Amino acid sequence: MHFEGVVLDLDGTVYRGGEPIPGAPETIGRLRERGCSLLFCSNNPTKGREAYVDRLAGMGIEATADEVLSAGAVTTRYLRDHHADDLLYVVGSSGLREQLTDADLRTTDDPEACEALVVSFYRGFDYDTLTDAYLAGKDGCPFVGSDPDVVIPTETGMVPGSGAIVGAVASILERDPDHVLGKPSSEAVAMATEALGVAPTRCLMVGDRLDTDIAFGERAGMTTALVRTGVNDDADVVESDVTPDHVLDSIADVERLFD
């Protein structure tokens, strides 16, 4: 099939930590030569679009801000659309906070002034943070998670991600989040489709996770390809309810899916 659009996950697919997956820069360059519309789509909520552009450039991969979609961007738009006037109590990185501030959203450091609780990846998460999150959400205010990734790949192996922190807060509040953004949410699908400008049936989704990347592609109506360079492998495919259309060793094999 000749795909007109390709959605590429980043962590575990295009790069792992600070190093590109072997063959990624060359493959992405050839996809551009084919005239594909590209979208780099990450569930990492900690960085704005320009930071991703700079990070990719450092690996020899060209991208524009319009070609980047992150869980932070999806979360920001959702909050702007549904909680524009609310005081947000944020358990999250300074990078996510900057994205919210840039969108003119209001945040508070007082958990008891919270009108909507936002939980995301935060390296400083500790007992006091969990206590404050409980105080913020105990009376039932809206509870939003930035993304569901429980673990994320790095150069040294897997480490906890946003989903682990969202899960900890959910356990103490004894309720699930009202919304979890990032892939595979319907909000992420809508923003990706809008950015690509290509019919989903003419698009390929490439990622390393079944529950986020491949589920996202399925929900969008895209052809899906799982790569073995990140979280999931063939054994996971056998046990999963989410089935990729293709399983590849790495992003370097993507072109063989084209006619």
* pLDDT per residue as tens digits for the range 222-242: 999 999 999 999 999 999 999
Q: Does residue 259 carry a catalytic annotation?
A: no
Give per-residue pLDDT as tens, 129-165. 999 999 999 999 999 999 999 998 777 888 999 999 9
33 within domain boundaries = yes
169 within domain boundaries = yes
Task: State which amino acid sits at residue 182.
Answer: G
Question: Does 88 share its domain with 164?
Answer: yes
- Please say whether the dihedral angle defined by the alpha carbons of residues 92, 95, 101 and 103, taken in this order, is positive or negative: negative
- Helix residue spans in the chain (DSSP H): 24-33, 49-57, 71-82, 94-102, 127-137, 162-173, 186-196, 215-220, 234-239
Q: Which of 134, 145, 140 shows the shortest CA–CA distance to 71?
A: 145
73 within domain boundaries = no
Q: Which of 9, 86, 132, 213 is catalytic?
A: 9
Q: Does residue 9 carry a catalytic annotation?
A: yes
Residue 131: how many CB atoms within 10 A of its CB?
12
The residue among 156, 180, 204 that closes a domain is: 180
Query: How confident is residue 216, by pLDDT bands cut at 50, 70 and 90?
Result: very high
The Cα–Cα gap between 252 and 150 comes to 26
Question: Does 91 share its domain with 176?
Answer: yes
Give per-residue pLDDT as tens, 83-114. 999 999 999 999 999 999 999 999 999 999 99
The residue among 161, 180, 199 that closes a domain is: 180
Q: Round the average pLDDT of the chain to a whole number and report it.
A: 96
Domain of 190, in residue numbers: 5-43+183-257
Question: Does 152 share its domain with 202?
Answer: no
Q: Which of 75, 125, 127, 67 shows the shortest CA–CA distance to 96?
A: 75
- Does 1 score more than 80 pLDDT? no
| Pairing mode of beta strands 37-42, 19-20 | unpaired
- C-alpha angle 234/239/245, rounded to 5°? 55
Query: How confident is residue 208, by pLDDT bands cut at 50, 70 and 90?
Result: very high
